[in-house]
Amino acid sequence: MSFELSADHEVFRKVVRDFAESEVAPHVAAWDREHYFPVELIPKMGELGLFGLVVPEEYGGAGADFTSLCVAIEELGRVDQSIGITLSAGVGLGINPILSFGSDEQKQCWLPDLVAGRALAGFGLTEPEAGSDAGATRTKAELVDGQWVVNGSKAFITNSGSSITSVVTVTARTGTVDGKPEISAILIPSGTPGFEVQPPYDKLGWRISDTHGLVFDDCRVPEANLVGQRGTGFKQFLAILDDGRIAISALAVGLAQACLDESLRYAKERHTFGKPIGARQAIAFAISDLAVAVEAARTLTYKAAWLKDAGRSAKEVKHAAAIAKLFSSEAAVSATRVATQVFGGYGFMEEYPVARFYRDAKILEIGEGTSEVQRMVIARALGLPVE
C-alpha cells in the first residue's frame, strides 16, 4: 500500500505550481477586486496541457490519468480558487460530457479547441427551482422538424458566458416515461438565436470565475446535438457529478493547504509579548489541527482519484467521491476560519489572502452537491433507507 504520488505526478505538480505562482499569484488580488475573468489566461493553461490531461491524444489531449487532473486543480486552487474551478469545470463539466457521452462527430467538432484552451464549455444543469433535486428540471426540449426547440432557464453555470465560451451542454425534459420526466442532454452553441446569457453574478467568493444564468426562448438546435441516447441525461449527469466531486475535493485540499502555508508563515513572523505567536500553545495547536485536516483531506481525495483510475466500480467511486468531497470541503471552510483567526485583525483585511480564502471557501460545501447530499449518498451506500 502506497500513500505517495508517483515521481511523474510530483514533477507535474512542480510544473503547475510554478505556473500558478508566476502567472496567477501576482494578479489575483486585482482580478478578485475587479471581478475580472482573465480570459487571456485560458490559452496559457491550454498550452500547459491542463485542459487536455484526461483527453485521448487523438483529440489533442495527453491521455493522462484522473489523478493528474486532481494534482493540477489542487495546485491552482492553492493560489486561487476561481482559477482552480475554471479548470475543474472546464474539464469536468465542459469537456467530460462530450468526451464520455458524445458522438465521434461531436468530439471532433468541440474537443480540439476546448483541449487547447482556445474555447471553454459549460454544463447547464442547475435551475432556479432545481438544485439538489436535479430531477425537477423544468427546461424543456421538443423535437420539431428535425430540431430541438429548447425553452427554460439555468442558474449558476460556470464558464458559460465568457468571450471564448463555445458551447453549453444543457439538460432538458424531452418527454415522459412511465409518468416520470425523460431528461436528455443537448449541446447548444454560443450565439444560437434564443440563447441568452445573463449578466455575471455579483458573488461573495469565486469572483474571478465566469458564472452566469442562462435563458432559452424557442432556442433551436439540430437533432444531432443530442448527447448520447435520448432519456439518458439523468444518468449522464450523475456520473459527471461523481467525477466532479473528486475534483472539488482536490480544490478544497488546495485551499486548506494555502491556509496552512499562510498560517505557518504568519505565526513565525508575528510577535507578541516578545515571542512569535507560533510559540503560543493556542496558535500552535490550532495550526497542528489544521495540518492534520490537510493530510486527511488529501488522502481521501487521492484515494478516490486512484479508485477511478484503477477502474473500480461506479458504486465504489461514488461512495469514495462523496466521502472525499464532504470531508475536504468542510475541512477547507474550517481551515479558512482558523487562518483568519491566526491573522487576527489583519485576517479581516482584503489586502491579505486569507480574507479571499474565507470568502471563497463556503461554496465548496454547496457546489457539485451540497454537504447534505453527500451525507445522503454515503448513508445510502451504508445501506440506510434515507430518503
Q: Known catalytic residues?
A: 368
Please give the backbone phi and psi of residue 4, each rounded to the nearest 5 degrees, phi first: -115, 145
Long-range contacts of 373-381 (CB under 8 A, 24+ apart): 373/132, 374/245, 374/322, 374/323, 374/325, 374/326, 375/326, 377/318, 377/319, 377/322, 378/319, 378/322, 378/323, 378/326, 381/315, 381/318, 381/319, 381/322
288, containing H or E segment = helix 281-309
Burial of 235 (0-12, 13-18, 19+ CB in 10 A): middle
Any residues with CB less than 8 A from the CB of 7 and at least 6 apart, and which?
none
Residue listed under C-alpha cell 426547440: 149
Backbone angles phi, psi at 182, to 5 degrees: -95, 120
C-alpha distances in angstroms, 137 versus 103, 195, 215, 221, 378? 24, 17, 14, 19, 24
Which amino acid belongs to residue 105?
E
Q: How far apart are CA 167 and CA 122, in angstroms?
A: 7
Rounded Cα–Cα distance for residues 376 and 387 (Å): 8
> β-strand 180-189 against 226-227: which pairing, if any?
antiparallel
Name the DSSP letter for residue 24: I
What DSSP assignment string belongs to 332-380?
Answer: HHHHHHHHHHHHGGGGGSTTSHHHHHHHHHGGGGTTTS-HHHHHHHHHH
Q: What is d(CA 168, CA 188) in angstroms, rounded to the nearest whole number?
A: 5
Question: DSSP secondary structure string, 109-162?
Answer: HHHHHHHHTS-EEEEE--BTTBSS-GGG---EEEEETTEEEEEEEEEEEETSSS
Query: Grid coordinates standing for 86?
Result: 475554471
